Structures are given as structure tokens and as C-alpha cells.
Amino acid sequence: MNIVLIGMRGSGKTTVGKILAQKLGREFIGMDELITQKAGLTIPEMVARYGWSKFRDIEEEVASEVAERDNIVNATSGGVVTREKNVTKLKKMGILVWLNAGIDTLLERIGEDSERPPLVSGRTQREDMELTLNERMPLYQKAADLAIDTEDKTPEEVAEAIIKSLKKICCLIGDPIEHSLSPLIHNAGYQALGINYLYVPFQVKDIKRVIEGIRGLNIRGASITMPHKANVMEYLDEIDEVAKKIGAVNTIVNNNGVLRGYNTDCDGALKALEEVTALAGKKAVLIGAGGVGSAIALGLKRGGAKLVILNRTEEKAKRLAEMFDAEDSGGLKKLAEISSADILINATSVGMWSKTNQSLVPKKLLHNRLTVFDTVYNPKETKLLTEARERGCAIVYGYRMFLYQAAVQFELFTGHQAPLVAMESALTQALEGEKHATHFDRR
């Protein structure tokens, strides 16, 4: 996990970056230096010979290379934000921190620099800086996860301000994560309460390295999603009893370097289900034996349901049934169990984006005595839920579970009661908007 400093020349990226790297025990990387090494020319020589466009091309190459590094403090070149693909790559494993300052401060810091060529010939240094700052300001604002005002601060004070801000950062860890709405609803909650927290996504393959980053940077907390809910457990200091029983963690809280794992899926699923139906004495068919399935199985048994677990891999269903003392288990050939069930739950990924035209359950098995719960929340209306409604079933939207599990995470991270109205509003608006988006349109 990286700290990526963005901002204009004179904002202090290099000086602050070196202080940060020393304090956090990380390697310092200066992109301008790497660019000149790659080109074999100074920046003035490069621009004089090839122009700014060539400089930007080399800058893009260096940004791609640096984005693959880990546990670094990266002082970027000032114009790195002018190409959106640079920002996308740097954000993949980096927290982007914008060091902001006014034009007079920037000019005072850089002094008279007669060697650095202006972006447009014929401008004075002030004209060039003013126009460039005005052009880039919206790009810095859009790219930044954190913004630090460096006016009237020493580099040491700026570094300390960044470290302090890291303690209120929470993140999403998974692969893939590009369609997750977790950042949207957590940040909506922070904004509603006016608290200075931030939630950012990281697409992660190596879970061990990112846990080291969370510990080293003192990141406040993390939501864990596919495929890391089980394998993250070995890297944590403490695990809540519910998470231990489920065998999966979806939440990490960092208390002064002690990382404790929780599972909020169980509470989220139960609350969503119990809004629509009671559980005690009901026959529930659960499809899926992964981390979410385990959480729901625990909740159903605690609620007094009679549980049947089905899974594509029959052996996994059997193991989960033994763990939670389910009444029966089997492969998908036993889907006929739904005909006599009161509750049906899909705890697989079938029905989510890229699989929206799919359902594991034949429509003919659905009946009007059945409550159907699909844990897929994006899209809101899955094929299973659409067909269940058509067959007269009561339905439970996956977004309800998603909302309630996120609310528990919110409270663990911040100590504040989650503002459910604000979080739900942000979530439902996004889901309604995504009904009209293609698979490639969503951000």
C-alpha cells in the first residue's frame, strides 16, 4: 500500500515525501528523477528536444512502473493527473494525497527557475504557474483521496498531518472491486455525520502485503470481500468469535496496531430476512457454501430455522452442514427441496453483473408460500427475484443485507451510529442509476 503525493511544483512533494518515507519506514520514489533517468536527459533538455508531449509519454510509462511497486512514498511529477490512466493506475494500490498551496506560496518556494521551460512558450513564470494551476486544480480535486493545505506549514508539519489523516482512512480490499458500492455508502455516511473519515477501494491479489500496509500506515479499518475473506484470517492478531465460527472475516479494525477481524454478514443477513419473515421453525434452503453462505447458515440456525444447504460442489455443502448442524445437504440436483421450503436464499455470485441473465433455480420450483432472498445486490433486481415476484413469492433484496452489514462495519470503524437513511439513499440511487448503465459504463 503506497502513499502517492500529487500537486504542483513547489507544493513540497519531494521534501514531504522523504520525511514521510523515513517516518513510515518506506522507500521514497521521486517520479521526476525516474523520468530523467529513463530519458537520459534533464527535463529542460527533454522538453527542448522533444516537447512536453514526449515528456508526458515517458511520465505515463514511469507512472505505470511505479504503480506496481508496494510500500513506497511516491512524489509524482506535477502533471501526472493530466492523463486519467495515470491516476487509475496509481490508485490501484495507493492513497493519493494532494499537497495544495496558493500561487504566491508556490512561486516563493521554487524561486526564479530560469531552466524549467514553461508549458507554453512566451509566458512569464507567474503566468505559466497561474494558468497551469487553474487548469490542474479540478484534476487534483478529482484525483485526491486526501487534500492537505500546506500554506503556513513546515514540511514536517505537513507530513504529520498526513499521518494523522491516515488514522481515519478505511478501505475495501478485494479482487475485483470496480463495481462495489461500499465506498459510496460509507463515504455518504461520513458526510452525513460530518466526520473526517474517508473510505477508499484497493484491488488486491496479495492479501499479506496489504495487511502489512494497513498495519504499517495505521489505517483505521478495512472491509474484506472476495476472494480474501478466509485467507486473511491468518494475518490478523485477534478474531471475533462469530467470525471464527463462520470461518471468514469481512471486517478488520485496527486498534493501535492490533488488527481484529469480524464478520458482519451474519447480522446483516438476519436483519434483512427478519424484515420480511420469521425464522423459527421455517424450512430454509440455502444455496452456496462460501463465506457468505457460512455467515447466513449460522444466522439461520441461531434463528431457529430448519436448514438445507445445497452447493454445486456437494462435498462443500456437506462440510458446511456438519459445521452448523443443518438438517440436510446436497448438490444442486436436490433443488426440488425448494418445493416444500418456506425460505430460499441464494448466497452465490450467480445473478450479479456479467451473470445477470442467470439463475440457479428453475422458475417452476418457486411458489407463493416462499420468501426468496438473493444476496446479490448489484443489480438490485436479479433474475431470481424477478421470477420469484412473478410466482407470487415474498422477496428480500440483497441490498438490504449489504446495507445492514455495512452499517455494522461503519459503527466498528467510527464508534458512531450509522446514519442508515443517508447510506440507504446513496445506495438505492446508485442501484437505480446502474439499471441504465452498461457493464462498461459503471464507475
Residue 196, judged by CB atoms within 10 A of its CB (0-12, 13-18, 19+), counts as exposed
Q: Of 229, 283, 301, 318, which residue is the catalytic one?
A: 229
d(CA 152, CA 141): 21
State the number of CA atoms in the 13 A half-sphere of 28 facing the CB: 16
- Rg (the chain; Cα; Å): 25
Q: Say how far apart CA 184 and CA 372 lie, in whole Å.
A: 27
405 SS3 class: helix
- Euclidean distance between CA atoms 95 and 200, whole angstroms: 8
Q: Length of the chain, please?
A: 443
Order the strands of the 238-239 sheet from edge to edge: 198-203, 169-174, 221-224, 251-255, 258-262, 238-239
Which secondary-structure segment (H or E) carries 6?
strand 2-6
Clarify whether 23 is annotated catalytic. no
DSSP run (H or E) holding 46: helix 43-50
Distance from chain centroid for Cα 391: 36
CB distance 169 to 220 below 8 Å? yes
**Contact assessment for residue 236 and residue 185, using Cβ atoms and an 8 Å cutoff:** no
User: What three-state secondary structure class fits 3?
Assistant: strand
191 Rama sector, left if φ>0, alpha if ψ -120 to 50, beta otherwise: alpha
Single-letter code of the amino acid located at 342: D
Nearest to 158 by CA among 294, 23, 360, 285: 23
Q: Of 72, 13, 61, 17, which Cα lies nearest the Cα of 36?
A: 61
| CA–CA distance, 48 with 225 (Å, rounded to integer) | 49
Whole-angstrom Cα distance, residue 224 to residue 409?
Answer: 11
3-class secondary structure, 136: helix
| CA 210 – CA 196 distance, rounded (Å) | 23
- For 216, the grid coordinates are 504499517
Catalytic machinery residues: 229
